[in-house]
Every structure is written in structure tokens, then in C-alpha cells.
Amino acid sequence: MSGTSRVPTGISGLDAVIGGGFPRGGLIVLAGNPGTGKTMFSASFLYNGIANYGERGIYASFAESKETFLSNMLELGFDFKRLEAEERFSFLDLMTAKEGAVSTTLEMIISEVSRIEAKRLVIDSFSALAQAFRETYEARIILHTILSRITKILGCTTILIVEVPYGEERVGLGIEEFVADGIILLKRSRLDGRILRDLEILKMRGMPTPETQLVLTLKGGFKAFPPFKVKVIEKPCRFEPRPDTKKFFSTGSQDLDEMLGGGYPRGSLVLIEIGEQIATLQYHLISAITAYNFTTQGRGVILIPSSGVDHNLIRKKAEEGGLTEDEINRLLRVYIRKYPGFKPEPFVVTLEGESITEYVMSCFNAEYELMKETGQPVLRIVGADTLIDTYGVKEALSALRACAMRARETESLCIILLKPGYPRVAKILSAMADVHLRITREHGSVLVYGVKPRTNLHVLEMDVSKGYPIPKLTPII
């Protein structure tokens, strides 16, 4: 089946993973517990097929009435009533189908597929239909009937919804998987007490699927997220700052501002806790955007980079935001340990002493000079692991407390970046912080969420549509 044509699902993020869509004329089993999004997935498949690909569709329901379906779908933005009036969609209300009438019911479905020349069909659900079966072999016969007559002869790609009761792992009667061309399992679980939705591709004929699990959301419709992808900036532009308010500094990102209820409070300490397998570029999407928002408004930024990040990378990130060489030299102060062969730069400050007090006083002096020159508050971004590795945990915490106090006194902002491996430090800093964000990874997707204030999980994507990197955050609901 390697040459089988594909039917685009219309499900955002899914088609790219499964090679363009479902096998044309295939039988797809869609399984999951109640409330996992099976109806929304199926409705999206039908609606997009009709509206975007000119393929008529049928929804055969054993679970809800036509009126309920049309009303619920309209709330989601799917106007199936209009499509029905245009004779491009048909709803079969099969809730009254009785035991022993399975053959008649199937003939009704087949007849309707032929009548409107449907190319997409949803049967909701096989679990309800199976209640009319006396023996398991009858279910196998029905499945083969659907497979041979509807999908293969009529060329109608069919989604067969299967309800998975809570506490069970088996899909349906355990026989659907042998005749289906594809099996997709929708799941809902918890991550740190927050709803996590994901989709698992258990089977997809004709297409190897290196990524078998995807994070998903029902926000604004059914959307799946392929693994995080780095995007290339084709036409670089200068960052456009977002305005602050009397209460908040903007994070520089509309999505992040909305997630936090306005942005970062003025005079606050922000902790960004970075999980394992999170790349530098990924957490920089969250931290660098705030630095852009400060510098492009003529404000100073003091940086103590995390391990693995040097002043050359900081310069590169600044240039990505459209900062000029003059702005970099005038508004940035990057602290590094002096090393052999180091070439001095106007924006780089070297730490030569061993005293934490010397470091703190140097930062305070730099902050004072920047505030004096700009007349505006300063942003300080501190890689906690750098301080811990250099001065030890006790001294590093002392310096970070001083930074927090200084931020409150001057109504500026201090962001602490904390990498994995310091659980005790994380608890102490979390208690100190006004805002606490966590960045983690699941099924290849990068997830961001607020511990303080508490928020849903959000999927982080990279947006370069404006000519510079912006974090795109979509809540998981």
C-alpha cells in the first residue's frame, strides 16, 4: 500500500505525521475514553472534507439525535445544517435501531453513501452498534461488510468510533484492529495536576509513523502538535515592543501575557524552571522575548548566562531581535568568567574575583549606571546554575535573594533560569518568586505552564512570521 493515495484529515498537525492523511477508502478505528474528543475529531474530518476538499460526508449516529449533533457542532464553528441544505452532508439518526436490525441498518448506511456519493463516513459508535450482536463472530461479519462494501467498493473513507471504558486498555471487542487500516487512540491524563491530552497512532497501513504519539488540544477545534520544530527566519525584522501597564511589564509575547493575566508584575522575581531535554533555543523563546521588549524600549538588560551560553550567542540572539551594535554595547551587560584568549567587548563584564559580594556589587553598579543613562528600570536575567557552579549553593542563593530585593526596591524585573539537577534550590526559589513557570517536554512537544499563577499546560511553538522569533502558546483544554 506504499503507493496508496491519502485523504487529508483536516486535523491540524496530524496529516504531516501520517504522510498526508488516511489511506483513501480505508477503515480507521478511532478509540478513546468518554470526553477525549472523538466526536470533535470525526466532525473535523467530515467538515474539512466537505468544505475544503469537495468530498461529501455522512455522520451515522447511534449515540445522539440529529438536533443535538447539529446544535453542538454549530457551537464549535461547524455549520453542518448549511452543508445538509446544500446536499453535501447527511445525518443518519440510528438511535432507535433495534436488536436484530443490524443488517437493515447497514443497508441504510450503504444506500445513503451511494445516494449522495459520499467519500467520507463516520459511524458513531461501533460500541453502540455492537450491543445488538449476539456473538462476537457477528461483529466480525459486520466489520468485513463495512470494509468490503463501503470502503473498498464505494471508496468511502470511514471512521469507526469505539468507546473505551475507563480502566480498560483493549480497543472495543478486540477484533477491530485486525481489519482496520488505521487505529488512533485518544487519551486524557494528568501532568502535574493539569489536563494533558494526547493521540497515539497504534496502526496506519501504508505509512511508517516514526512519531506515534502527539500532544493535542480541543482549543478552537481539534489540533494535534508534531514535535517542536525550529523555524528559519527568512526576512529578519526589528522586534516590535509590546506596551507595559502600570501594574505589569509585558513579557514581550501576547500569548504569554494572556497566560499570566497581564505579564510580569513590576518589581517582581520570576523563576523559569527548565526541564530535562529542553534545548537552549526553546527556553530562550520565553526569556529572550522579554529582553527584546526591554532593549527595544531603550532599557538596560544585565545577563548572567546559563552554562553552555556565552556572550557570542547572546550577541546573536540580540541581532535576531533587530538590535544594532550601538544598542548592544550601550544597553546590554553580559557577565562571564574571564578565560585565556578572551577578547574584550564593550557589553561584556568579566568576573575575575572569587567573592560573591564582588559579583553582587558589580551587578548593582552596572544596574545603577544603566538606570542613570536610560532613566528606566532594568531587566536582570540570571542563570542560577552558573552562580551555583561558581560560588556554591549557599552563596548563590544569597546573591539571588539580593537580586530579588533589588528588583522590588527599584521596581525593575529579575528572571532566574534554573536548569535540572537542583530540586532543593527549586523549592527555595519557588517560595521567593512572584511568578514561577515550568518548561517541560512530552511526546516531542515543549510544554509551558504556570505554577504561580497556576495555569493550564500550553504547547510552545516557534513563530517567525514577523521576522523574529516569538513564542506561540496554545492552551491544552
pLDDT tens track for 225-261 = 999 999 999 999 999 999 999 999 999 999 999 999 9
For residue 346, say if its preceding peptide bond is cis, omega within 30 degrees of 0: no
Rg, C-alpha atoms of the chain: 28
Number of H helices, E strands in the chain: 15, 23
Angle, in degrees to the nearest 10, between helices 423-432 and 393-410? 20
pTM, 2 dp:
0.92
In the prediction, which pLDDT does 80 show? 98
In the prediction, which pLDDT does 352 show? 66
Which residues of the chain have a pLDDT value below 50?
A: 1-3
Domains annotated on the chain, with CATH: 6-225 (3.40.50.300), 248-475 (3.40.50.300)
> Which residues neighbour 401 within 8 Å (Cβ) at sequence distance 6 or greater?
432
In the prediction, which pLDDT does 2 show? 42
DSSP state of 289: H
State which H helix or E strand residue 217 sits in.
Answer: strand 213-217
In the prediction, which pLDDT does 102 show? 74
Residues in the chain: 477
Q: Which residue has the cell 494528568?
A: 190
In the prediction, which pLDDT does 172 show? 57
Q: Which amino acid is at 425?
A: V
Among 122, 151, 161, 198, which Cα is nearest to 25's?
151
For residue 125, say if its preceding peptide bond is cis, omega within 30 degrees of 0: yes
Distance CA 311, CA 315 (A): 6
In the prediction, which pLDDT does 367 show? 94
Q: What cell was used for 189?
A: 491524563
Q: Angle at the Cα of 239 (from 236 to 241), degrees rounded to 5? A: 165
Q: Which amino acid is at 118?
A: A
Distance CA 295, CA 291 (A): 6
Among 289, 230, 235, which Cα is nearest to 446's?
230
For residue 453, say if its preceding peptide bond is cis, omega within 30 degrees of 0: yes
